[in-house]
Structure 1
Amino acid sequence: MGASKHPVTSLPAGIIADAFGRAVAAATDYAGATAPNPPVGCVLLDAAGEVLAVEAHRKAGDLHAEARAIAACRAAGSALRIHTIVVTLEPCNHHGRTPPCTDAILSTPARHVWIAGRDPNPRVAGGGAARLAAAGLSVGWLAGLDHADAPRLAAEAERLIAPFVKWSTTGRPFVTVKQALDETGSMIPPPGHKTFTSETSLTLAHRLRRRADAILTGAGTILADDPEFTVRRVPDHPDKRRLLAILDRRGRVPADYLTAAAQRGLRPLVFAELDEALARLGTEGVHEVLVEAGPTLTAAVLAAGLWDEHVVIAKGDPDRITILRNHDRKG
């Protein structure tokens, strides 16, 4: 579709900000299910700012968020009302397993597109925003939205695709370290217990596990706790099979544990060195690896600067959650 012959009034910043919030939330629901693609959310609005569709990319090979939202509008008979498209990532402009999202957008009467972040993937041509603008659509970026919530929404959208950015630009997974500490700063649970954190913190831990493509642990943790490493406190992604990377230099993990892990839907891999494990996970297409390990391995990952995000759960009433990002780490 070409450029509109008449100017079309853009929607207020508050409506756009609300739509970005909905799009981020929709994409977050599928974080961990979309590799090798990033999680993306999309919201379609009519000229009055009414939400016509909220959709997300759900898995590789499935419709992208924009195409899914447009298809939902067509099914509901509201496609001719599409006025503004709000999406968390620049629409693709290349043919992959699905057609370009720019084609889908240009097949609608939409005249405005708001985008949270540019596509960072060096393997594709990119240029989605440029193509839409060349076709006469107004293209806006979340960073330029004049609204108090814009910085927070931009940070949330950036974190959403951070694992994809890391993997697509370096070939390495995004490393999240989860660390639970008691009142004394110790990671060791009391005798007879596997944890000491609250129910809320345990649910958070399972959410972190749900969005990860792999778990990284050490032989000591397995021998001490016999952990399942499954997602139980929140619904898991259907058919998701995570890698379980085990650092076991001395071959202490028994074969029956590896067999049981495979029966639980995990794919166990044993490594002697941390860097070897991370390199292999990258070649396996892992976007995000969650480190769930004891004090020694956790400290080693942090000290080596191999982490991207550090989630600290400090026991208290209530537990205190701190999330740190290692923005200064290079590659």
Structure 2
Amino acid sequence: MTTAPEMTISAAERTALRQALAGAARFAGATSPNPPVGCVLLDENGAVLAEGFHMMAGEAHAEAIAIASARALGVAGRIHTVVATLEPCNHHGRTPPCSDAILATPARRVVIAAADPNPAVRGGGAARLKAAGLDIVLAADHPELRAESLAARRLIAPFAKHARTGRPWVTVKQAVDEAGGMVPPPGRKTFTARSSLLLAHRLRRRADAILTGSGTVLADNPEFTVRHVADFPGKQRFLALLDRRRRVPSGYIEAARARGFTVLRPADLDDALALLGARGALEVLVEAGPSLTAAVLDAGLADEHVLITKGNPDHVAITHANPEFDAVKAPGEEQ
């Protein structure tokens, strides 16, 4: 992709990029198998004209929504700069190419936070727009936009991993007491503070699948639903249950299906990740007991490890397999 690193970035463009990232992050988990994307349109003086966010697979992309909003407001003729968290697409899928939508406006400049990570289409949208005479600015070429570039890459990290490997992004949520144990006191399912409970449910909302083991199900009879924060309407999730000895009763499976889960019973951990990836899951949240949690961590399968240590308040440590991502907040981490 040919970009123009010599072009300066205005304060208005940087603010718009942050606005687009914050808006897109609200829909992390709602758009699978697509990534969450945000777009903000500016006029020649840097004033915001409209914004748009991709909210669900099969619906319009962020750029198309923003442009439609600008038309509805009667300001489409003033569009000068398109600020997008992800490189605009240039292929026909369930929706038309965003590059076509942009070229149907008077836009002269496109600021892109992250290139498309899909090796099959990477660079195509930017090249198409550049060939049409638009200025293309990629955040990665500008050191002053390092934070925004990292945030954009983390936002689409599950989509990027799936595009490269066919496997989902693996988030491990682990809660331990002061001694490092994971078993709650008798009669309780958790021992963490309410703020940590809310975080756990935001992580659950973000996920396309929950991975657990038979021991957790038999001990806690967990629902694995999103209850303490608002869920995405119509969101469907997988429940991957490792139960080699088939100890989990059929009644639990039927109840999980009634709660909206598609229940999968893979043979082992590797089979679980392969099966979920093949079904289009971009992110799986591991909510399991000590043995399965340790197996995932020890095998180096975790892309993100959320460690909650009981306290007043709880201590939350979030680390990533890619240490660059430790510097930015991921969707769902905000308190």
Superposition TM-score tier, normalisation by shorter sequence? over 0.9
Residue of structure 2 in register with 1:293 after alignment: 288
Query: Quick check: 1:48 aligned with 2:23?
Result: no
Alignment of 1:106-255 (within 5 A): 106-124=103-121, 126-145=123-142, 147=144, 150-255=145-250
Shift of 1:316: 2.0
Task: Give the residue type in structure 2 aligned to 1:48.
Answer: N
User: Is the 2:59–2:95 contact (alpha carbons within 8 Å) kept by the matching residues of 1?
Assistant: yes
Give the drift of 1:255.
Answer: 0.4
Aligned residue identity for 1:202? L
Are positions 1:17 and 2:29 aligned together?
no
Q: Distance in 1 between matches of 2:11 and 2:312?
A: 36
Aligned-residue offset at 1:267:
1.2
Unpaired runs of 5+ residues, structure 1, are 1-9
Q: How far did residue 125 of structure 1 move? A: 6.7
In the alignment, the residues of structure 2 paired with residue 33 and residue 123 of structure 1 have an alpha-carbon distance, to the nearest angstrom, of 23
Asked if 1:72 is matched to 2:69, the reply is: yes
Residues 115 and 122 of structure 2 are in contact (CA less than 8 Å); yes or no, is this contact kept in structure 1? no
Aligned letter for 1:16? Answer: E
The answer as to 2:60 corresponding to 1:63 is yes
For 2:110 and 2:214, how far apart are their aligned partners in 1?
Answer: 50
Q: CA deviation at 1:317?
A: 2.4
- Tell me how far apart the structure 2 counterparts of residues 273 and 12 of structure 1 sit (CA, whole Å): 49
- Is structure 2 residue 91 aligned with structure 1 residue 94? yes
**Counterpart contact for 2:266–2:275, Cα < 8 Å:** no
Identity %: 62
- List gaps (5 residues or longer) in structure 2: 1-6, 324-335
Which residue matches 2:30?
33
Provide TM-score, normalisation by structure 2.
Answer: 0.91
Task: State the alpha-carbon separation in 2 of the partners of residues 173 and 66 from structure 1.
Answer: 26
| Partner of residue 4, structure 2 | none
Query: What is the aligned length?
Result: 317
Please tell me whether the aligned partners of residues 116 and 122 of structure 2 are also in contact (alpha carbons under 8 angstroms).
Answer: no
Q: Secondary structure at the match of 2:156?
A: helix
| Superposed CA offset, 1:55-75 (max 9, x none) | 111111111100110000001
Moved more, 85-94 or 264-273: 264-273
User: Secondary structure in 2 aligned to 1:195?
Assistant: coil
Deviations 1:188-243 (A, max 9, x none): 11111111111111111111111111000000001111111001111111111100
Q: TM-score, normalised by structure 1?
A: 0.92
Q: Secondary structure at the match of 1:271?
A: coil
Structure 1 SS opposite 2:162 = helix
The answer to whether the 8 Å contact 1:180/1:313 transfers is yes
Question: 1:279 and 1:295 mapped to 2: Cα distance?
Answer: 22
